[in-house]
Structure 1
Amino acid sequence: MAEPVPRMADFRKSRWFALVWAVPAAIVLVSVAVLGAQWLRSLPAMQSFITQFPGQSSLPAGTPVGFPAWLAWQHGLNAFIMLFIIRSGWQVRTLTRPDAYWTRNNKGMIRTKGSPVRISLNLWLHLSLDTLWIINGVVFYALLFVTGQWGRLVPVHWDIFPNAISAGIQYASLNWPVENGWSNYNALQVLSYFLVVFIAAPLALITGLRMSPGLAAHFNPLHRAFPLSAARKIHFATMVFFVAFIVVHVTLVFATGALNNLNHMYAVNNGQSWLGFAIFSASLVLMIVAWIAARPFVLRSIAGRIGTVSR
């Protein structure tokens, strides 16, 4: 009878135990939100409010209709990179004994007090993926403003806020707002995407730079204004936000018209064919294969080509 005790103790010490509380908490929060929203929608005042603000705000003049091919490619690449950024970031935070360490071995290596920085293999992967994510983001920002697609993500009218509240209540009551994502997102989507693209992403970058090995020492003059401990907390909170956004985003993509939504972002059309689903499925298979392949011995082999890997 004494044998299960250490097993439970080991589980409590694992990096997965920290996530156990999230499942029952999410079920309770979702249940309360749905019941509360359905009660609100039964009130005449709320029905009048939704009629006045159906959930969508007008776009700036000249905003293009539909999605260009470059946006579909960037969306898929960003999803792939973010998956492994979150995975490697969680491993950096929770693993107390890394599988290996990596040291850059060329003349341009990052140094602290004259010595090369030695980091865990998981942190090496995290920083490498961050670099790809930043490059992809710079290209995204440039094309977003050059092509006028920014108009779909940047709020320009004050009615965006009451319309967002309306859309949120409609979502929560499980009676979805009218979807027309090909030409215009609803107000809640606009605010969510604006927060992700223009607030959360830069915040992740700034806090990541503050924590970066070899660069942290250069922030010493700003330590009081921006301490390392604060950067860590904000960086982790930003990761939690990204995870929550991805879960809600993917859920709504499938719940509010999967074929049409997947065609928008993967097949670049406004139809009901299975092409978008097929491309999405292929990308999902690629993610699964990459997830399985990202084993320590594979990472050691890749990292060893551009540095020194030690156990």
Structure 2
Amino acid sequence: MLPAPLSEPQIRTGTAAAAPAAAAKVAPDAAATAPAAKTSAAPAKAPPAKAPAAAPAAAATSAAAASDAQPGLRPTTRRQWALAGILVALAVIGLTTIVVGLARWIAGLEPIAAFIAQYPGTYELPEGAPIGLPAWLNWSHFFNLLLIALIIRSGLQVRGERKPPAYFTSKRTGQKVSITVWLHTSLDVLWIVNGLVFVVLLFATGQWMRIVPTSWEVFPHAISAGLQYATLNWPLEDGWVNYNSLQQLAYFVTVFIAAPLAIVTGARMSGWWPKGADRLNRAYPIEWARAVHFPTMLYFSAFIIVHVLLVFTTGALRNLNHMFAAKPDDDWLGFLFFAGAMLVVAAAMVAARPALLSPIASRFGTVSAR
């Protein structure tokens, strides 16, 4: 194995250190051949060594130069964060203004206006489709809200975790993971159970016709609805009877595409995946699962943001009654239920700490500090 090449400072240090050793080796030979008179002469005084004293100064100068050359290493100040936030807000406002202006210009063109008139954004549901939202759907929506919020939070904690606060060892498999991973996996199981109940009841009660497209007209209607949203002249809708086509496609993708993707990729990355299954691992590499799982989480986050925004800007009291009180009225009951639900979510966020999770996790395995 060849030694690593020396840098210039190392070469200089090595040369300076080798000089006294070489002089010491040559001195005995010279003393043996020199006349006696010269050997009795007093030794010359060595000059004071000033080089080591200059080294710290040179190092300090180099460090200062490196710091000036790499300003990105300096911590960001509050003023810089505030300025960045203002710039981002101005950019969002400017971009929104451009998009709205462009969308209104496009919608004002005669062919596009005729297209919107022909496809206003909603097509008729099949005969026999249910009207209204049942109470079981409200409860499922609440549990989904609670679980998905905790799943996203714990997933981000797992992604950025360096030193886990505690560890969990499973009684069933003996696998040791951080307690944050255990929490994330446990929430996933509850979320899957809630989803299975939702899907079964969805098809058992006919509610599937509200979120599963039943006509190819869903696509032109969805384009029309999207254009109307972009102009801020939003399409007329009555979610108690029928969603517009863009909403229907969004719900369909969320329930039947994004959710299964999250489950399949999460299972591949979890400790439940069979060990030693070489052929299965080659057919479904964990790198694929990691490449899909995080973007799926980003999709859910974006869906939630847009969903909440539209709920509060298209008739908040009516929409909250649909989602939390199973009624089409415009009173405040749904809002009160929503406020209570958000308090429960906030309390769950605070409670999801190792000190409170350990007693629960201990029922399924061993919790340790290391």
TM range (shorter): 0.7 to 0.9
Q: CA deviation at 1:38?
A: 2.1
Could you tell me which of 179, 184, 188 is aligned with 2:246?
188
Alpha-carbon spacing, 1:134–1:301, altered in 2? closer, same or farther (3 Å): same
User: Which residue does 1:102 correspond to in 2?
Assistant: 168
User: Which residue does 1:203 correspond to in 2?
Assistant: 261
Could you tell me which of 284, 294, 300 is aligned with 2:352?
294
Select the structure of larger CA radius of gyration: 2
Matched, 1:89 2:89: no
Q: CA deviation at 1:7?
A: 4.1
Matched, 1:277 2:277: no
Matched, 1:176 2:254: no
Normalised TM-score (structure 2): 0.74
Distance 1:219 1:189 in 2: 41
Per-residue deviation, residues 153-183 of structure 1 (Å, max 9, x unmatched): 1101111000000001111111110011100
Q: CA deviation at 1:61?
A: 1.8
Distance 2:122 2:99 in 1: 21
Matched residue SS, 2:283? coil
Q: CA deviation at 1:210?
A: 1.0
Counterpart residue type for residue 34 of structure 1: V
Could you tell me which of 299, 303, 313 is aligned with 1:245?
303
**RMSD of aligned residue pairs (Cα, Å):** 2.2
Higher mean C-alpha displacement, 268-277 vs 205-214: 205-214
Q: Counterparts in 2 of 1:1-311, with a 5 A limit?
A: 7-8=75-76, 30-105=96-171, 109-110=172-173, 116-215=174-273, 217=275, 219-311=277-369
Q: CA deviation at 1:141?
A: 0.9
Conserved? CA contact 1:72–1:268, under 8 Å: yes
Distance 1:188 1:277 in 2: 25
Distance 1:31 1:99 in 2: 46
Conserved? CA contact 1:37–1:173, under 8 Å: yes
Per-residue deviation, residues 51-110 of structure 1 (Å, max 9, x unmatched): 0100002212211000011000000111000000011111111112211110113xxx12
Alpha-carbon spacing, 1:23–1:291, altered in 2? closer, same or farther (3 Å): farther
Distance 1:22 1:265 in 2: 33
Distance 1:142 1:36 in 2: 43
Matched residue SS, 1:269? coil
Alpha-carbon spacing, 1:23–1:208, altered in 2? closer, same or farther (3 Å): farther
Distance 1:289 1:146 in 2: 34
Q: CA deviation at 1:301?
A: 3.2
Q: CA deviation at 1:224?
A: 3.2
Distance 2:317 2:241 in 1: 16
Conserved? CA contact 1:117–1:214, under 8 Å: no
For structure 2, the residue ranges without an aligned partner over 5 or more in a row are: 1-66, 78-86
Counterpart residue type for residue 273 of structure 2: L
Per-residue deviation, residues 15-59 of structure 1 (Å, max 9, x unmatched): xxxxxx997886666444333322212222211111010000221
Alpha-carbon spacing, 1:218–1:22, altered in 2? closer, same or farther (3 Å): farther
**Identical-residue share of aligned pairs (%):** 51
Alpha-carbon spacing, 1:174–1:84, altered in 2? closer, same or farther (3 Å): same
User: Which residue does 1:113 correspond to in 2?
Assistant: none
Aligned length: 290
Counterpart residue type for residue 163 of structure 2: R
Matched residue SS, 1:224? helix
Distance 2:348 2:126 in 1: 40
Q: CA deviation at 1:223?
A: 2.8
Alpha-carbon spacing, 1:75–1:217, altered in 2? closer, same or farther (3 Å): same
Counterpart residue type for residue 209 of structure 1: A
Conserved? CA contact 1:168–1:188, under 8 Å: yes
Distance 2:262 2:92 in 1: 24
Matched residue SS, 1:217? coil
Distance 1:227 1:221 in 2: 10
Alpha-carbon spacing, 1:97–1:150, altered in 2? closer, same or farther (3 Å): same
Counterpart residue type for residue 317 of structure 2: L
